Structure formats: structure tokens, C-alpha cells
Structure 1
Amino acid sequence: MKKITLFFFVAIFTSINVLATTVNNPKDENGFYIVKWDCATNSFASSNDFEVDETFVIAFDVTGTPLESWLKETPTAPGATRSLAFNKWTGFGDLNGDSHRLKPLKENIYGATWNIAQLATTMDLSAAQTLDAETFVFGQLFGFEYTADDPGAGWWMWPAGEPVGETLNPGTDSEATFKTLPYTGTKTSPEFYNDDYDGLWGENYPIKGYAPACTVISGVNSPIISNSPIISRKYISIQGMELAEEPIYGIYFEQVMREDGTIQVFKLFKSKN
């Protein structure tokens, strides 16, 4: 009888784990998801090395999860496109509820540019910006549908079998999805608004601290670290998408790989002639 009971318990526990909301992001040494996207390398950063008032690109990789399959299904709303959104809050309070929507960066990876402090609504910024304070961010990753005329043609959509409203918990004791660096006050980023950029929702109602991924960038050029011969070049758009060839005008990144294995990234600009 004890063996049957134990088997039944394990089966239930396993089933619950399968249904838990997860993503394919890497994790840091403390078990939190690494959510920072490196636009220059078009991949996840090695850590969440940002403070609460520092601008960064957030991204989620749903490869191999129920959300990947859901995104490929036929939308419920006629003529709609499916995407992902991240309903979020912090240990210090809430963030702007109009800034949840994400757009694709590359296959199965969705993101946006954020500044947590600028997104604050009920969030206690005085506490979050106390020396050495860490901001823990919690949230729910879910699907939505949009059309050219309706940014919320479908909302709060969950894959079949996925627990509705489940938080995105990497398994940390705090159940936070990720956390910031301890606050020093030395990394404060300039203010920006979504309506300063194309390609995101809500241009008619400005949202501070929210923009398309990889659009609010500065100072990314790598120092010259090697004179080894160049063996390949890769071009990346400011949205983080790899390009088939070098652009003839505009802002973009050039990633150079050298024979000795070193990689350099340059932010370039070409004007229209």
C-alpha cells in the first residue's frame, strides 16, 4: 500500500512540474532566469548586469515549451498575429500595465526594451533606489493576438494544459523570475518613450521606459583587441535580427570574427546619399 501511495504521489508531482510555466532562457548562478538580451551578439547576455534604473532589453525563449506550439497555431481572431506578453510586478510594487507586449527577436524569442524604474506605477522607487537594494521581478508569460487595428484582439491566452495565471518561476525560493543588480545609482539611463520609436504598440499613448527591442542603445563598440585576420562578418539590425547582407544605409551592428577566435562588435551608421 505504501508503494502504491508513493507512486501515486510521484505521478501527481511529475504532472504538476510538467504543467509549470517555464522558458528556455539560461539561468544565473543563483537560479534566476537571465532575461537580458545582447543586441550586439544577438543572443542572451551572460548575466542580468543591470540596475533598476538602467535600460536593457528583456527577452524570453519559448523553444520547446507549450507556448512555442501555441504561437504556431491558427489565431482565434480573424487576420490576427500571435505574440507573447509578460504581466509583471516587483517586490517594491507594480509596473505599467500597458507595457506587457513583446515582439519577436528571432525564432521563438520575444522581447522589448525596458527601464524598470521608468515603468513604475505603484512601485516604491525610494526603496528600490536605496543603496544595495535588489529589485525582484515576478511575472506571468502568456499569449495574445493583435491585428493592424486592435493590439488586443485576443488577450490572456494560455496553451491547452498550461495552468492559467501561473507565474514564471525558475525555481528560486523567492519565486521571482529575475532580479537586478544591487543598486549603486551609477547606471541611471536617460528617459525614453515608446512613441519615440516605430514598431511597437501604443504610439498614441506614450509609455515611459518601454520601446521595441534593441532601439535604445549607446556605447556598444568593442575596443580593438586583436589584429588577427578577419574570417567572417555578420550584420545585425537594431531590432536584433541577423541580416543577409550589409545595409546600404541606416544604423546597424557589424560583428567581426577573427582567426584567433576573438569577436568584435561595432555600431555603424550610413546616411542616405
Structure 2
Amino acid sequence: MIALEEMTQVYAGQRVLGPVNLVLEAGERVALVGASGEGKSTLARLLLGLERPASGRLMFDGSVLDRRARPVMRTFRRQVQGVFQDAPGAVNPRHRVERIISEPLEHLTSLDRSARQARVMAMLAAVQLPTELASRLPHQLSGGQLQRVCLARALAIEPALLVCDEVTSGLDTILQVALGDWLLAHCRQQRMGLVFVTHDLRLARRLCDRLVVIERGVILDDVRAHQSCTHPAAMALEAAVLT
């Protein structure tokens, strides 16, 4: 479905990623694992087409993703969505929850207003939020509630792939488990692919069936979730996990 080919990224003249070659099959759940500052979020933004790489290319369903090719980009936006760690920064503070969730429905689907409103209410219920929150502003929600609103927005158009960048790191353990279990169930039910960026190896193995370990912008290991890592640096990361 999606492939990164010889992709690199450079910030302020310094290479922070790559070269990276990575293939994501339809419906596959892949965890990008590594310590902070190793290039996971950069890779996630490149996967979402939010940044232009310094070199290399992003392939989507056999075509090179090019912002000048509007039909391809529209299909890509419809099929690939992202949720980020900074939920408050990912929403307009002046928009109410209903508008936040309905925005992609307005631009990426042909649903009329009443159908969009019904979809918003259905998505709030799906992420286990009371529907009365639809009329509230972001600052009136807790951090966990706002993160679930962002998740509802991303899933409202039923994408084929969801990229989650540290979406549980700001939540307490109970909310992490609850959100992770719900996300796993949704992926299985909808046959949706998942790229889950995290530094938590235990959570990665709980949600995904493939682990990709990154250090200094380079992929060190790419193994099945039930297997042990093979690269020495990846094995050291694995050994640091508390029982």
C-alpha cells in the first residue's frame, strides 16, 4: 500500500533520517519504536505526506506521491490519516467538537450536513465519549477526552491507514490501556492498517504485529512483534523494559 524508498530528511543542514526503505502492506499494524529524538516522528510526518523529504520518494498504491497530482493527493488524504501527541495543538481552539470532527467529512466525503452530524455523534459514541461534548470547546475537555476527539476526527472518514504519533504518552496507565485496546479492536474490525509511534516496547507488542526499531534516523531492526530483536542496540532497548 505505502512504501518509502531511499528516503532521507535534513534539518538545518544535518541529516536526521535515512536513508530509509520501508513497506507497509494493507491492514498491517506496525510499531515504530525507539528513544526520543531518534527520528520516529519525522518518519511519521513523511509517511503522512506532511513534509517533503530531502531525497527519496513515497509510493502510494504503486504511484509516486506528488502534491501536483491532485487526484492522487485527494485519494491519499482520504485513505491515510494521522493523530498526534499534542492534541491541543492539533485542533482549532475556537471550534467546537462537532465542527472539529466534521471537518474532514466536509472536505473528503460527499455527505450532506445531516449525515455529517449523524456521523459525528456516531464517532463520539465509538470512542466512548458522551454526545453532549459535541457542543463544547477544546479547553472544556480533559487531555484524554481531547485525544479521543482527535482520534474520532481521523477515523470519521474510515481511512485505510492510521498513523498515531505517541498518542498515549500523555495519558495515565488506565487510559493508555483502554485507548490501546479500543484502537486494536477497531483495526481488526475495520481491517485498518496502523503505524504506531512509541517508545513503549510493551505497548507496541500489545497493539502491533511488527516492530521497526529506529536509532539515529536509521532502521536497526524489523521483526515480528512476538520475536526478539536481533540488532545489539535494539536488544539493549528491549532489555531496558521493566517487567
TM-score normalised by L of structure 2? 0.24
Higher relative contact order (CA 8 A, sep 6+): 2
Structure of larger gyration radius: 1
Which has the larger helix fraction? 2
